[in-house]
Amino acid sequence: MGRTTVLVTGGAGFIGSNFVRFLRTHRPDYRVVVLDKLTYAGRRENLADIPEGEYFRFVRGDIADRPLVDALFAEERPDFVVNFAAETHVDRSILEAGEFIRTDIWGTWVLLEVVRHRGTGRFLQVSTDEVYGEILEGSASEGDPLAPRSPYAASKAGGDLMALAYHETFGVPVLITRGANTFGPYQYPEKFIPLFITNAIDNEPLPLYGDGRQVRDWVYVLDHCAAIDLVLHEGKVGQVYNVGAGNERQNIEVARLILRLLGKPESLIRPVADRPAHDRRYSLDTSRLRALGWAPRYRFEEALAETVRWYRTNEGWWRPIKQGEFAEFYRRNYGHRLG
């Protein structure tokens, strides 16, 4: 028997790179092959500490490029596929949704087609709780109807539904995880927590959308990775698993915590014009995942403190990012809001 090979698409992004490192630690005998397009959000240096060779290979390429994906499957014959590759930022999907449709729907379909013809042991589609839409009361369960409200969430829902259809129609061994809002090291500073940390370090305003009372159900990235690993190995094919740690917090509370951890004044919080169709609350019922044996290992406040420490000690990672393409996005998304 050869070595178990896992194809990790989008492995140079935030959760993907944490997951690759998780596999190196917890499944050291696996061969991990990363396929990543290196968009603005993907960085080869997120995996710089992992040497290439028998246990790790990095391939730059697009999941929507069928000849490339097909050739990679023929060569590597992966036992497992974990699809993290996606356009992921709601605000960018509001500015321009084309790439979201191309990668999150079409790209997922290309992967499913290649898996259908070439075969693999298990295909895990990494999805999001945003496909359920806003949850004003109670918590979303896996069987609930999908009601996405942003172009990002609609694209992810398209990918989920195509994956489930390929399971039903062609017997592709699909599993889906729907993760809650995730935070931790290596998150691109366009997202709420790393944006607020890095702005606060620089004494820049923290642009809080609307009244700041929106609720997100936060999960630390290492807990999210452990859940994906568990579902990949122990989940039931054809099933969906919600991934969340039950840390529901209002955005304004999180902003205040970040400022306290950095010793910065609350006057840095700047209420700005709300995001259109801003989902008021997310909340997940995670009993199915917990029945598999998963429980979060990190407390929210401690994990947030650890995340703040990481951004403080890794300015060399995020400062160049914030000066590049990000600066243009920041002007487009926040220029009129901040005045």
- Using CB under 6 A, list all residues that contact ligand NAD: 9-10, 12-16, 35-39, 41-42, 62-64, 84-88, 103, 107, 126, 128, 156, 179, 181-182, 188
- Choose from ligand NAD, ligand TYD, none: what does 182 bind? Cβ within 5-8 Å by kind: ligand NAD
CB of 64 to ligand TYD, least distance (A): 22
CB of 138 to ligand NAD, least distance (A): 20
Which residues, 6 or more positions from 275, have their beta carbon under 8 angstroms from its beta carbon?
90, 91, 94, 209, 210
CB of 251 to ligand TYD, least distance (A): 5
Strand 56-60 versus strand 31-36 pairing type: parallel
- Is 191 a binding residue for ligand TYD by CB under 6 A? The answer is yes
- Choose from ligand TYD, ligand NAD, none: what does 216 bind? Cβ within 5-8 Å by kind: ligand TYD
Q: Which is nearer to ligand TYD, 125 or 214 (CB)?
A: 214
CB of 223 to ligand TYD, least distance (A): 17
Is 241 marked active-site? no
- Is 251 a binding residue for ligand TYD by CB under 6 A? The answer is yes
SS (H, E, C) the chain: CCCCEEEEECCCCHHHHHHHHHHHHHCCCCEEEEEECCCCCCCHHHHCCCCCCCCEEEEECCCCCHHHHHHHHHHHCCCEEEECCCCCCHHHHHHCCHHHHHHHHHHHHHHHHHHHHHCCCEEEEEEEHHHHCCCCCCCECCCCCCCCCCHHHHHHHHHHHHHHHHHHHHCCCEEEEEECCEECCCCCCCCHHHHHHHHHHCCCCEEEECCCCCEEEEEEHHHHHHHHHHHHHHCCCCCEEEECCCEEEEHHHHHHHHHHHHCCCHHHEEEECCCCCCCCECCECCHHHHHCCCCCCCCHHHHHHHHHHHHHHCHHHHHHHHHCHHHHHHHHHHHHHHC
- Is 218 a binding residue for ligand TYD by CB under 6 A? The answer is no
**Catalytic residue chosen out of the listed positions 130, 134, 160, 217:** 130
- Choose from ligand TYD, ligand NAD, none: what does 176 bind? Cβ within 5-8 Å by kind: none
CB of 274 to ligand NAD, least distance (A): 20
Which residue number places its CB atom closest to ligand NAD?
Answer: 13
- Is 208 a binding residue for ligand TYD by CB under 6 A? The answer is yes
- Burial category of 291 from C-beta neighbours within 10 Å (exposed 0-12, middle 13-18, buried 19 and up): exposed
Is 209 marked active-site? no
CB of 115 to ligand TYD, least distance (A): 27
**Catalytic residue chosen out of the listed positions 129, 160, 190, 279:** 129
Q: Which is nearer to ligand NAD, 107 or 235 (CB)?
A: 107
Is 87 marked active-site? no
- Is 209 a binding residue for ligand TYD by CB under 6 A? The answer is yes
Residue span 87-126 as binding mask against ligand TYD, x where in contact by CB under 6 A, dash where not: ---x------------------------------------
Q: Residues with catalytic annotation?
A: 129-130, 152
